[in-house]
Amino acid sequence: MKALITSGGRGTRLRPITNTNNKHLIPIANKPMLFYALEAVAEAGIKEVGVIVGSDTKNEIISALGNGTLWDINITYIEQDEPRGLAHVVKISEPFIGKDNFIFYLGDNMIVGGVKRFIEEFEAYKPDCQLVLARVKDPQRFGVPEIKDGKIISIEEKPAKPKSHYAVTGLYIYDNIIFEAVNNIKPGARGELEISDAHQYLLNKGKVVRYSEITGWWKDTGEPEDLLEANRLVLDRAFELEHRQIEGYVDDSDIAGKVIIGKKTEIINSIIRGPVIIGENISIKDSYIGPYTSIHNNCEICNSEVEYSILMEECRVINVDIRIERSLLGRGASIIRCTGRPRSHRFLIGDQSRVEVV
C-alpha cells in the first residue's frame, strides 16, 4: 500500500494568512495541517508517500516536509503544473504508484482518529475502491453519493439537488483499476477531471465501491472561522482524556482542563482553561487563555484575554482590555493597547485583513 497526498492550491479565501503561507502549512493545534495526513499514513504503516505539489508552492512544501525522515517514510514529490482536478492528480501519479494499492488523501482534510481502520477494511473486503463518507449540512459543496440498500449506486460532484446527506470526504483507497477510470473520463463542469466522475466510472463498470462513515471530519470551506473549527476539533479529540503536559514554568496560576505548555514558556499570574496548547518560549502574564486556543512559539501575551483563537508564531497581545475571541493572528502579528495621546485606534494591516472593533 502506498499513499498519495495533495498539498497544492492557493487558498485564496484564507487571505491574508495564505499570502505568505501555503494553506496546508497553517498550524492546527500548533502543527501544520499537512503533518496530520503524513502522521496518519505513517501510523498505518505506509512507507512510500507521493506528495502532489503545485508549481507555485512546491518549495515551501518541500522545505517543510523534506524527504520524510520525521515520519520514517520516503516522500516522492509529484508536480502538477496547473490545478486540473483530482482525477488528474491520480493520473499523473501512475508511474509512482505502479501496481500497488494506494490511499489518496486530500491534505486539506482533517480526519480525526487516523486512517488505519479504513485501510484495514479495504484489506479485509478487497473492494476496488473504498470511500469515506461524512454526514454534512451542505452536501451540494461536495461529491455526493446516492445510497440504496447500504450500497452506493451513483456519485455526483457538487449536485444542485443532492441525493443524500453525505459528502464523499477527501480520503479514498484504490486498487489499480482507478487508472483505467481516470484515463477514460472527460473534464467536468469546472473544466477539471473530477474524482467523482472516476468513481461513477467504476460504478458503471460494475466495480466494487465500498464505503465507511465517519464523524470527526473537517474540510476547509475557505473562511478563517473554519480553521478555528478544525483547531477546536483537534484540541477536543486528539488529546487523551485529561491530558496535561507542562514542560515550562507555571507559578501558582490557575490551570484547568487539558493543557499542553511547551519548554521555556512562562505562565505568571494567569488563568488557563483547556483545551489549550501553548508552544515554546512564550510569556503569558496577568492574562486569561480560554478554551480552544492554540498559541505557537515565541508569542507574548500580557494583561489580556484570548479565547477560541489561533496565534501563529511571534504574536504579541499586550494590555488589550477586551477579550480576543474567534481570531486568527498570522505570524508576527501584534495587538497592543495604545497608551499615549491622542487615544486612537491605529492599524497597520495587510491586504485582505479583517479587524472587528467594538
Interface with ligand G1P (CB under 6 A):
86, 106, 109, 142-143, 157, 167-170, 194-196, 219
**For ligand G1P, which is the closer residue by CB, 169 or 298?**
169
Least distance in angstroms from the C-beta of 328 to ligand G1P? 21
**For ligand G1P, which is the closer residue by CB, 109 or 164?**
109
Contact 289, 307 (CB under 8 A): yes
**For ligand G1P, which is the closer residue by CB, 129 or 306?**
129
Least distance in angstroms from the C-beta of 219 to ligand G1P? 5
**For ligand G1P, which is the closer residue by CB, 101 or 169?**
169
Q: In which region does residue 14 sit, left (phi positive, over 0), alpha (psi from -120 to 50) or beta (all else)?
A: alpha
SS3 (DSSP) at 231: helix
> Residue 6 and residue 44: Cα distance in Å, rounded?
18
The residue whose Cβ lies closest to ligand G1P is: 143
Least distance in angstroms from the C-beta of 34 to ligand G1P? 14
**For ligand G1P, which is the closer residue by CB, 46 or 168?**
168
SS3 (DSSP) at 220: coil
Query: What are the DSSP calls for 238-304, one per residue?
Result: TSPTT-EEE-SEE-S-EEESSEEE-TT-EEES-EEESSEEE-SS-EEES-EE-SSEEE-TT-EEES-
Range 260-267, long-range pairs (CB < 8 A, 24+ positions) = 262/297
**For ligand G1P, which is the closer residue by CB, 13 or 244?**
13
Least distance in angstroms from the C-beta of 312 to ligand G1P? 24
Whose grid coordinates read 503561507?
21
Least distance in angstroms from the C-beta of 119 to ligand G1P? 19
CA distance to 34, 88, 108, per residue, from 79 (Å): 17, 11, 17
Least distance in angstroms from the C-beta of 331 to ligand G1P? 26
Least distance in angstroms from the C-beta of 61 to ligand G1P? 18
* Beta bridge mates, 144: 156
12 CB neighbour count, 10 Å cutoff:
11
The residue type found at 297 is: N
